[in-house]
Structure 1
Amino acid sequence: MDLDKEICLRFKPLGWLKQAWGAPVLLIVCFCLWVVLLWMPWDAYEMDWPAWVQAIGSVAAILVAIQVSDKARADLQRQRDEELAKRDAETRAADHAHAVRLDAFLAELIVSLKMLKEGQSDTEAIIGHELVKAFERTMERAQTVFDTDTSPVRMRVIAQCRFNFSSILVQLQRCEEKVGDERLYGFVQRGIDSFSAHRKKLSHCSGLTEHYSQVEPLRQ
């Protein structure tokens, strides 16, 4: 049994006036009361008018107080709903921005690796120092630029991407100022496949709730 649920009972003494039948019923009641007061033999009774006026005023004050309290509660609830809606919109916007940034970074990695792979056709292609430095700078960005993203799904993707890209970077550093070998370009191709799979899943999942466990990391 869940004891944490809040139970709220609201009493609206004048809420029935908003109904379609509220105004006619009020008119009928007022007419009947007017008839009773008009034809009632007041001379035969000793009426304490100040006491009656005080009693009627007290009842009216209670009804007004209840109505004011209910209106204040409704305004507070509406304000809370607006704040929650605004916060939810801000969260969705931030989540979308993180997703777009990750997708753009994956696209950048894929393009860089494809350009690197094109050198495989040239048997005399040298892995230059500047190329290695460019990939090292990309790795530094991958280590820091996504630190503010708190999505568990994207954090898992980012961790796998960092591991895969670091594996490729190790092979690049090994082949620096040398001709790229088959092992390097094998890592490059597997990196392209891995990053493309991540990007495809990101583009197809709704709200980024897709799990990425099927994408295997590169192995040394």
Structure 2
Amino acid sequence: MNKLIVGIAALGLCFVSPGIANSQQITRFEHRDDIYYHQNLNSKGVAHYQYKIPANTFGVFTLKNNSSKSDFDIYVYDSSNGKLLTKGENSGTQTELVITQPVAVDKYAYIKVINYGSQTSRYRLYANYVNPANKFLIALAQVPFCNPEQNDKTSSRVFTTISSILQGNDVGGVAKEVFINEVTMEMKKQFGYGCTGEFMVNWGVSMVRGFYRNY
């Protein structure tokens, strides 16, 4: 599938947010599958974005060093209060992959991309979200003989397990297979090796695959 590339040159949107720089040129990132934003960014240059993370979903931000040079980092803040939610500061040209935790209400994220390298370079920024409820149904289809209950307590245990593996700010340096293996082991430890455990593994792995979609 050809990717739809949206330039940011003339799509600025200004707004003021507490704790964040005063009036900045902000590009609003609308959610659509397979979209990414790209730009040549000068050394020490900064690009600004805004993205809506729906309630009860993981926000997922993937920053690729498209030119294979320089060093791009990413910082994600809560637009309402300027609180830093997550950051990716891998050195060199490594892809940054950062994930925000689910909250009960829609949240607008303010994203800052910085070129810490010594030369102008191009990046690609993907923003999307993983909906655990949708992944629950996908996992259920894989284990049709199970009838696990999706309640707040169970969901909390699943999210806590995944969050414990996401302790670092950036999972870009963690191979997808390694992440999946950790989720598998932790889910089995939490829920056992029977029907429920198998379902929870599938649910967790489905979410992890969503995290790595654009990696």
Task: Determine which structure has more spread, i.e. the larger CA radius of gyration.
Answer: 1
TM-score, with structure 1 as normaliser = 0.24
Q: Which structure has the highest helix share of the two?
A: 1
Q: Which structure has the highest strand share of the two?
A: 2
TM-score, with structure 2 as normaliser = 0.24
